[in-house]
Structure 1
């Protein structure tokens, strides 16, 4: 699968730099402490730092890290009737073997240094697949992020009512999520941090979920009383989630909601989030380089493109090809943004019949030219990082 000795050799050296094995640290402990995060104990875990007015992730060994991730990695894509024999015969029906023998080697060969978010579309506008278990994450042997299911207000989801963020029931649910997920992951060195909702509908909706409306009626933002109420509601949401996580995990970054950059995002929501998250995360399929630059300038906070792809959704093809040139241009543009800490591609790893795209097809054949272009783009960023911080 496109693996060569030369490429493996290059990637071992460049990824070693990004994963904490390089000789020269970006920040010493005193410099790193100048950046305030929500972390209670950050030493030995991923954190944030600045150098020359640029935000960076800092890996557990104190080295710079620009996250280049792939999203949506689901073993069910290899269990269709037409390919289940591969699953059984090649991987022995074991998800751990599949991760160790397929997922991790391919991602590293393609120059990705992070698993951005593993959950995948199952049926359009239904729930995503399950997250990885702790053992499955460990099998990756590479950095990853994890999403916490505090609320189901995703803009693509059409079945779930909004939770009342002021209710005791919801607060009890938040604590359950935190102790269920975070208590188990709290000491994992490869975990970068936690996402919350995927594109929450704070002040917007979509045709399929107009029946429930947005979390907060945007018409009420026309009055001072309405704006004040949204601030109070969003503050309750972010403080409750923050406090619950920190009861069980003192170490990892809070990456927050993954806002839809092309829908209305109320300033009141972002301002309420800022004291309780470490990064502002976004989905953006239209103009991510400019939009993330705007949000960094507005807020002064580090930003992450947590989900995006340059897909031609108007194509009549059932399976949509990826877009290597778009990926390369977007990655290079984001890297120049002094507030951007990375880019996670809305892949998926292997296409299924719901998302209809992936870097591998159902028979494990790579998406040819596009994967090569993405690999080259990732390698170029790794080379730049090595050059910038070699001394």
Structure 2
């Protein structure tokens, strides 16, 4: 049985500290949540040095879903009638969560629930600020200065004011980015970047990558099963997924590693500049195709993935 299951089964309220950490197994007290290897096992460790198994609710919020076509939020209306104010609801909600054994507020929780005695996480939406749309599968140009600007703005606005918080566990970078073929879009990131406008930094990065990998445009065309005689002819190619040659797949995976590495480098640098104390929790993933290359690209730049 995994050790963390034993912790949940055996831990009693008396064995938990003020953060929800398990006092029977200790690491180092650093004043912040951190990762630590104890007896060969990696753990989250809370600010006072006790191991911490994060058990959270994704969205603890007074403002739940709105009835489409109206301004009504029935959940908020019911809670306001019962509790009298959002502040009273927040206190009751957190008390209920603690009684049920939860110890973490997820990233879609209302900001008014933070710093109220329960550990929490925040999502920065850095690529989303730079143009990504996770619901529709639109990728941001990860080679554009807009990514650097988005990371700096998010870190300055969100991370800097919280750098000394003991209740903050850490930051998720983004939600379910489109890294490659999935239910939202059938194209790889390399194919999408090749279809960007000619002056887009991502388009230039994609072409530079392919030119460095293939000696001539004829070699590239043959390897990808295309019929082009010059690089400029790619302007007229519209990739739509479907059958790819083995070399096209390999090129796409290797370019993905390159693009993802830049993404994690930019995010890491911005966050660490403004907040050296809290965990970088990677980005929430929903694409099995990209799991290995994304994890490899994130190595050394995130604390948890």
| TM-score (norm. length: structure 2) | 0.67
Give CA-to-partner distance per residue, 1:200-237, whole Å, 9 cap, x none.
2212232xx338x4534485883555444322211110
Does structure 2 conserve the Cα–Cα contact (< 8 Å) formed by 1:238 and 1:273?
A: yes
Is residue 87 from structure 1 mapped to residue 79 from structure 2 by the alignment?
A: yes
Is residue 231 from structure 1 mapped to residue 257 from structure 2 by the alignment?
A: yes
- Cα offset, 1:254, TM superposition: 0.7
CA distance in 2 between counterparts of 1:196 and 1:149 reads: 6
Aligned residues: 235
Pair 1:55–1:221, CA change in 2 (3 A) = farther
Give the alignment's Cα RMSD to 1 decimal: 2.9
Does structure 2 conserve the Cα–Cα contact (< 8 Å) formed by 1:18 and 1:63?
A: no
Does structure 2 conserve the Cα–Cα contact (< 8 Å) formed by 1:69 and 1:116?
A: yes
- Cα offset, 1:77, TM superposition: 2.9
CA distance in 1 between counterparts of 2:33 and 2:52 reads: 9
- Cα offset, 1:74, TM superposition: 2.1
Pair 1:77–1:225, CA change in 2 (3 A) = closer
Where does residue 178 of structure 1 map in the other structure? 155
Where does residue 98 of structure 1 map in the other structure? 89
Does structure 2 conserve the Cα–Cα contact (< 8 Å) formed by 1:202 and 1:265?
A: yes
Q: Provide structure 2 residue ranges, at least 5 long, that are not aligned to the other structure.
A: 1-10, 67-71, 192-240
- Cα offset, 1:68, TM superposition: 1.1
Where does residue 247 of structure 1 map in the other structure? 273
CA distance in 1 between counterparts of 2:265 and 2:78 reads: 46
What secondary structure is seen at the aligned counterpart in 1 of 2:283? strand
CA distance in 1 between counterparts of 2:101 and 2:38 reads: 24
Is residue 144 from structure 1 mapped to residue 131 from structure 2 by the alignment?
A: no
Does structure 2 conserve the Cα–Cα contact (< 8 Å) formed by 1:11 and 1:108?
A: no
Question: Could you say which structure has the larger radius of gyration?
Answer: 2
What secondary structure is seen at the aligned counterpart in 2 of 1:267? helix
- Cα offset, 1:169, TM superposition: 1.8
Give CA-to-partner distance per residue, 1:67-116, whole Å, 9 cap, x none.
1111122212398565555333333332x322112x21111111111112
Q: Provide structure 1 residue ranges, at least 5 long, that are not aligned to the other structure.
A: 1-9, 30-42, 120-131, 281-391
Give CA-to-partner distance per residue, 1:23-73, whole Å, 9 cap, x none.
x661246xxxxxxxxxxxxx2100011222211101000111111111122
Does structure 2 conserve the Cα–Cα contact (< 8 Å) formed by 1:205 and 1:214?
A: no
Where does residue 189 of structure 2 map in the other structure? 215
Is residue 269 from structure 1 mapped to residue 299 from structure 2 by the alignment?
A: no
Give CA-to-partner distance per residue, 1:330-382, whole Å, 9 cap, x none.
xxxxxxxxxxxxxxxxxxxxxxxxxxxxxxxxxxxxxxxxxxxxxxxxxxxxx
Alignment of 1:99-118 (within 5 A): 99-101=90-92, 103-118=93-108
Pair 1:69–1:220, CA change in 2 (3 A) = farther
| TM-score (norm. length: structure 1) | 0.54
CA distance in 2 between counterparts of 1:215 and 1:231 reads: 10
